[in-house]
Chain A
């Protein structure tokens, strides 16, 4: 059971906008930044969003992040087939003194 809660799956058709939620508590999302990672099968995770809503260089602006209270969301607009991957949220947890991840969301592009 992950400390951060994500839906196990999400889907959309090309061109659509999809959102992936991440729910936590005051000790993690509520008091710290949220980060999002993208992972393709057999590869290392890649940083997608940092500090709630910042994109590293090279990440398309189709990807956006937001945070409100103890929840966060990743939005992908103009969905493309190459976006099919697993997505994870993460945050530092002050109570645990450690990092916590969501269980991951498998995005399928129909």
Chain B
């Protein structure tokens, strides 16, 4: 059974940093691309970033480019999102999602999300 468990969310001040983690199990982690997708309270889904299975390719939404960094440790079956220079508009639940294969394949499994609140 595929399981994705996010952690690392919390309250952070504007301009601060936070690192999210997503522990994956139930599949061969290194064989699949992975994404972060966020959802602001009461709002819709917004894709944030995707990384290939090997970690060699990464893509970002314009809204986070230059501030967020996606990475993965295939030896630990863990996906990360390093978030710097956080803004109020980054407040959201952050879901990790498994792609069905490559970065352009759909999201077939999602985690429950971890809440990030950016506020002073």
Report yes or no: B110 in contact with A99, Cβ–Cβ below 8 A.
Answer: no
B residues near A90, Cβ cutoff 8 Å? 45, 47, 106-107
- Tell me what chain A mostly uses at the interface: helix, strand, loop, or mixed: strand
How many residue pairs bridge A and B at CB < 8 Å?
56
Q: Size of chain A's interface in residues, with CB distance under 8 A?
A: 27
Contact surface of B with A, Cβ cutoff 8 Å: 35, 37, 44-47, 50, 59-62, 95, 100, 104, 106-108, 110-113
Which of B100, B104, B110 sits near A45, CB closer than 8 Å? B110
A37 to B106 alpha-carbon distance, docked (Å): 10
Report yes or no: A44 in contact with B100, Cβ–Cβ below 8 A.
Answer: no
Q: A35 an interface residue at 8 Å Cβ cutoff?
A: yes
Q: A97 an interface residue at 8 Å Cβ cutoff?
A: yes
